[in-house]
């Protein structure tokens, strides 16, 4: 899931300067799970904007704001409320915000900051495990991503600063390569570490990227 956090209200109010009427859009998927843009957050934002003198013309929590066709359809279902607004305030990840901007000519304001692609450890606790590098090395590292979990992104073992299994960059974090070694050892695959992993092919990380599935 995409982990995002809500921008400070002061920043949002600055972005809303020059207009009075606001339509608020949330997301029922990632933004809801990380408490950045679900129904609860949309209602709280409505109260905050109203208290600050703004007029909220309406709200909607779209099932997946990153789904461009669905977002366009759902906004058309609220056309009158959207048309009345000076701004569309979006509480979702950056992909969802851009879906809204694609679907409407209204001024779109981002109410969140997208942080990372995260795993959910438990409710309210998220950890970055993948960097979306497009050149996955998990088969060589026991299912632990060295690009992301290693603070230095090292592909061929730990750095010289590792001490007693702790990361040099963050002593409270376990060295990713210690974890990789121990996992491969349990799987009786430590010999994989004898193979030199080539440098990443950054061509896989080109921007903007796209994927069209063959029918």
Give one DSSP letter per residue of 173-185, joined into a string.
Answer: SB-HHHHHHHHHH
Angle at 4 between CA 177 and CA 87, to 5 degrees: 155
Q: Counting beta carbons within 10 angstroms of the beta carbon of residue 214, is it exposed (0 to 12), middle (13 to 18) or buried (19 or more)?
A: exposed
Note the pLDDT of residue 205: 86
> How many angstroms separate the CA atoms of 140 and 173, rounded?
22
Tell whether the model's pLDDT for residue 12 goes beyond 90.
yes
H or E element, residue 5: strand 2-6
Q: Which two tokens stand for residue 121?
A: 């450890």
| CATH number for domain 2-116, candidates 3.60.10.10, 3.30.450.20, 3.40.50.11860, 3.20.20.80 | 3.40.50.11860
Average pLDDT, the chain: 96
pLDDT confidence tier of residue 118, bands split at 50, 70 and 90: very high
Answer yes or no: is pLDDT of 83 > 90.
yes
Higher pLDDT, 80 or 209: 80
Q: Are 87 and 105 in contact (CB under 8 A)?
A: no
Q: What secondary structure does DSSP assign to 80-143, as a single string?
A: HHHHH-SEEEEES-HHHHHHHHHH-SSEEEE-EEEEEEEEEEETTEEEE-----SS--GGGTTT
pLDDT for the residue 206: 86
> What span, in angstroms and rounded, lies between the C-alpha atoms of 21 and 58?
9
Report, as an integer, the average pLDDT of 67-91. 98
Supply the pLDDT for residue 165.
Answer: 95
pTM above 0.75, yes or no: yes
Strands 107-110 and 87-91, by their bridges, are parallel
- In the chain, where the domains are located: 2-116, 136-204
Secondary structure (3-state) at 204 = helix
Cα 20 to Cα 13: distance, rounded to the nearest angstrom: 10
CB atoms within 10 A of CB 38: 20
Give the pLDDT band (50/70/90) at residue 185: very high
Provide mean pLDDT across the span 39-48: 98
Question: Using a CB cutoff of 8 Å and minimum separation of 24, what contacts does 154-160 make?
Answer: 155/197, 155/199, 155/200, 156/196, 156/197, 157/193
Q: Stretch 169-183: mean pLDDT, rounded? A: 96
Residue 163 reports pLDDT greater than 90: yes
pLDDT digits (tens, 9 = 90+) for 108-117: 999 999 999 9
Which residue carries 């730990």 as its tokens? Answer: 158
Instruction: Determine how many CB atoms are found less than 10 A away from the CB of residue 197.
Output: 15
């Amino acid at each position: 899931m995409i982990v995002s956090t809500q921008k400070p209200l002061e920043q949002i109010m600055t972005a809303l300067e020059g207009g009075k009427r606001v339509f608020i859009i949330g997301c029922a998927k990632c933004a809801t799970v990380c408490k950045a843009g679900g129904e609860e957050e949309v209602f709280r934002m409505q109260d905050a904007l109203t208290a600050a003198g703004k007029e909220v013309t309406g709200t909607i929590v779209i099932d997946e704001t990153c789904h461009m066709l669905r977002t366009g359809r759902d906004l058309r279902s609220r056309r009158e409320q959207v048309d009345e607004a000076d701004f569309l305030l979006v509480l979702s990840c950056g992909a969802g915000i851009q879906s809204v901007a694609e679907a409407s000519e209204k001024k779109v304001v981002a109410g969140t900051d997208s942080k990372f692609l995260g795993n959910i450890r438990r409710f309210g606790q998220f950890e970055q495990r993948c960097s979306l590098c497009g050149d996955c090395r998990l088969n060589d590292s026991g299912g632990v991503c060295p690009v992301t979990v290693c603070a230095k992104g090292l592909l061929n073992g730990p750095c010289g600063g590792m001490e007693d299994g702790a990361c040099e960059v963050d002593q409270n974090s376990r060295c990713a390569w210690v974890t990789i070694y121990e996992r491969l050892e349990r799987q009786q695959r430590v010999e994989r570490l004898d193979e030199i992993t080539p440098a990443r092919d950054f061509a896989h990380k080109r921007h903007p990227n796209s994927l069209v599935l063959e029918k």
